[in-house]
Amino acid sequence: MPTHHTAPRTPVAALTLLALCTSCSPGLLLVPADDVVAAPDIDGPAPDAPAPDAPAPDAPAPDAPPPDVTVPDVSPPCPAGLANCAGTCRPTGIACSSGLGACLRTGVTLCADRAITCSASPGAPSCEQSNGVDDDCDGVVDEDCVLWHLPFGARSWNVHPLDVIAACDPTRRSAHAPTEPIRAAFDVEALGIVYVLTATRWHVLDGDTARWTHAQWLASGPLADAFMPDAATRAYWASGVLYAYSVPADHGGGDDMNEGVEIVTRDGAVFYTFNLATRRFVLGKSPVPAASIHWDPPCAPAYGDVRSAWIDTHNRNDWIRASPATTCSLPDIPASDVTVHEIALTATTAHAMDAGSSFRFFSAVPLRDFPPFRYPNAPPVARIGDGAYLADGLWIFRAP
């Protein structure tokens, strides 16, 4: 049987591809479809291409200087004595100060925060004292110091503000502290207090300074309610109060429950009794017109010139040393008997009256020579107003 050679059969798909690709480029290898195998991925997926024209990540903004590069100061140099402050030549190193009064501090000018300032910072203010210094740094000297106190036996005055709370903290004040000039003052010895009178109100001061940490001023109220029960009395007060003083309950033969008070006005003297139990004032004897008050010269002051007065019943400080026997032609009274006396102050002179028997003025000395006013920290003569004398010392209030 004859042998027949049969040609290998080409897959139909390959013949079709061959027929379609007769125009393919020479040398193109045609692979049967069944034999095509995808090339292995040996390099991983291709990286994402950046967006067209996008700047590279973290690239600095165009025209920005590189990081950590200082921009040079191209301002023109300043003449000697001037410094470049925010692009302007300004003087620095000049002496300057900051603060007022005791808070004043000195330094030199410098450039800070693009402005010329002083290198000094003001000091801290303190409570005002009567020392010729603006201690609380408000631009006013000694404005709060209106109370001078000379304790019994002391040889130096203590000076206090009218309101110890407000003097150290201007945002606060004592409820009963005076807000008007003080016109007159007198003490109530048995209670250890001082009544202070202004044009419209009365105020009670605690005479014991050790208690001021609790309260300096104890009470206050309208002047008319306490002292002016009728029209006649109001007329005397309306003429103007000159001064006031009190007579202790244990002096003058009265009972121990009432102290005498005399308010001296330009038109005359008005008398009261102060009951220690009720703490109320009651009109005493009828007022005495000024025209009826006569004081014998040469040691007596003029009636309208007196601006402060008080009664001293014991002369324990020995401030009065003159003898009525040899002064002002008074009867023969030994100096040792001059115990109860009244002190009356004018603008220039301290006058002493015997308040135990003769009731006449027997001594007159210049105010600056009167013993208590020679002590350190004494009130200046021009500032002396009315006073009050308690057993524990003398109070003087600044004149209005």
Res 60 pLDDT > 60: no
Q: What is the pLDDT of residues 376-395, one digit of tens each?
A: 989 989 999 999 999 889 99
Query: What mean pLDDT is reported for the chain?
Result: 80
Res 198 pLDDT > 50: yes
Stretch 315-342: mean pLDDT: 68
Q: In sequence order, what are the residues at sequence separation of 6 or more whose Cβ sits closer than 8 angstroms to the Cβ of residue 162? A: 144, 146, 147, 177, 178
Q: Which residue has the higher pLDDT, 28 or 254?
A: 254
188 bridge partner residues: 193
Radius of gyration (C-alpha) of the chain in whole angstroms: 50
Stretch 318-337: mean pLDDT: 62
What pLDDT is attached to residue 125?
A: 85
What separation in angstroms does the CA of 110 have from each of 79, 81, 122, 146, 303? 16, 12, 16, 42, 63
What percentage of residues in the chain have a pLDDT greater than 70? 74
DSSP state string for 13-25: HHHHHHHHTTTSP
Among 30-39, 207-216, 288-297, which range has the highest average pLDDT? Answer: 288-297
Res 263 pLDDT > 50: yes
What percentage of residues in the chain have a pLDDT greater than 90? 48
What pLDDT is attached to residue 48?
A: 55
Res 65 pLDDT > 60: no
Place 82 in a pLDDT band, splitting at 50, 70 and 90: confident
Q: In sequence order, what are the residues at sequence separation of 6 or more whose Cβ sits closer than 8 angstroms to the Cβ of residue 73? A: 84
What pLDDT is attached to residue 163?
A: 86
Q: Which residue has the higher pLDDT, 28 or 136?
A: 136
Q: Please, what are the domains in the chain? A: 82-118 (no CATH), 146-398 (2.110.10)
Which of the residue ranges 20-34, 66-80, 103-117, 342-356 would you say has the lowest mean pLDDT?
A: 20-34
What values do phi and psi take at 25, rounded to 5?
-65, 145
Res 140 pLDDT > 60: yes
Cα 224 versus chain centre, distance:
32
Res 194 pLDDT > 90: yes
Cα diameter, the chain: 196
